[in-house]
Structures are given as C-alpha cells and as structure tokens.
Amino acid sequence: MKTKEKILVTSVELFNRSGVVAVTTNHIAKAMDISPGNLYFHYDNKEEIILELFRRMMKETYDIWKHQKKSEQKPLDFIDANFEVYWKYRFFHREMYSLRRKDAQLGKMWKSHMAKMMKLMNLQYRNWVKKGYMSVLTQPKEMMYVYESLLAMATTYLQFFESTEKVPGRRSIERGKSHVARLLLPYTIGETKDSFEKFINSNHF
C-alpha cells in the first residue's frame, strides 16, 4: 500500500476510534511510523485528509446506488450495503455537524451530497415501484416526508444510538437498519413487505 493511501486508511481508523478532534497529524504519522514531514508531503493538514475521506465516502455511497439500479439486489441487502459504508466512515456520522461548521468547503460538499441523495432516493423509489417492491405514492408531500425522514435518521442515528449504548459498537448499526426498515415498511408490498416484517421481528433491542 502506498504511503498516501495508508495515510487515509490510518486516519479513518484513528478518527473512528478516538474522534477527529483528539487526533492530530502527528498521531497519524506516529501510528504509521513515518515522520510528520512525510505525511505533509502528501497532505497539507488534517482538514485536507478529512475532505479526501469525505469524497471517498460519497463515491462509495453513489456506487452502491448506481449498482442497485442495474442489479436484482433486494431492498434489505441494499440497506445493509449502505450501513456498511456508514460504519466504515462512522466518525463522519458522529461529528459531521461540528466538522462542517469548522470547514466551509466541507459544509458545501455536505449540502451538495444531501441534495444528490434526495435525487437518488427519488430514482430508487421509482426503481423499486417498477420492480414491485414498493407501492405508488400519489402525494408529493408524502414522498418528501419519506425522503427527508430517511436522510435525517441516516445522518444522525449513530450519535443517538451510541449515546444510549453502554458499549458503543456495531449494535448501533443493526438498530439503524431496523429503524429504516420500520420507516419503509408501510410502503412495501408483496414479498418485500414480508421480508421487512421478518427482519424487524427478528431484531431484539
């Protein structure tokens, strides 16, 4: 693995473990057993690393959504794939509010990302209706409610669930998936509805 790539991988590990504020470029360099100067050769500062990680998170998310349109992947598998990305970059979901307030560029990227996610959800909804996974929503306000509720939950659930867990961990991810399934359940039909109900009933929190 090249040094530039290893910096990103190490940064994610440290940010997830200790939080962005507590981790400095010196911590990252020490964890990699390289000099701070070597790190600065690739990235000018921690903010630049964070921006690159956010770009990667966005790309990995969009790739999942693009793949879904062309595949026969079931909704629950699609939800699971998205939550794996949430877990991989969980520090963003824990700290995004403060991070984007400190970095105007990240704030703009975040807003652009949210706008794109709204468009992708609309495309996904139409795709799932076409495949017979969801019922048709005739009221635009109802559709907007679903989209906004999903985004609000997906971008804040980790903070909430981890604050209620004695030992924060992947249990929070499972709780998040269950809540997304519950939110979508009234709009699912046929075998999809059955699979959602089975998934929800199998979880005990």
Question: Using 50, 70 and 90 to split pLDDT, how confident is the model at 21?
Answer: very high
Q: Per residue in 139-151, pLDDT tens?
A: 888 888 999 998 8
From CA 166, how far away is CA 177, in angstroms rounded? Answer: 19
Q: Per residue in 128-138, pLDDT tens?
A: 999 999 999 88
pLDDT of residue 70: 67
**% of the chain with per-residue pLDDT over 90:** 72
Average pLDDT over the chain reads 90
Residue 183 buriedness (CB in 10 A; 0-12 / 13-18 / 19+)? middle
pLDDT of residue 168: 59
Note the Cα 10 to chain centre separation in Å. Answer: 19
CATH number of 53-202: 1.10.357.10
Domain 1-44, second-level architecture: Orthogonal Bundle (1.10)
- Residue 194 is inside which H or E element, if any? helix 190-202
152 has a pLDDT exceeding 80: yes
Question: 134: which strand partners?
Answer: 188
Question: 188: which strand partners?
Answer: 134
Q: Per residue in 36-94, pLDDT tens?
A: 999 999 999 999 999 999 999 999 999 999 876 667 789 999 999 999 999 999 999 88
Please tell me the pTM assigned to this model: 0.91
Helix (H, G, I), strand (E, B) or coil at 110: helix
Q: Which residues of 108-145 are buried (b: 16+ CB within 10 A; e: fewer)?
A: ebbeebeeebeebbeebbeebeeeebbeeeeeeeeeee
pLDDT of residue 158: 78
Domain boundaries, the chain: 1-44, 53-202
pLDDT of residue 115: 94
Backbone angles phi, psi at 21, to 5 degrees: -60, -40
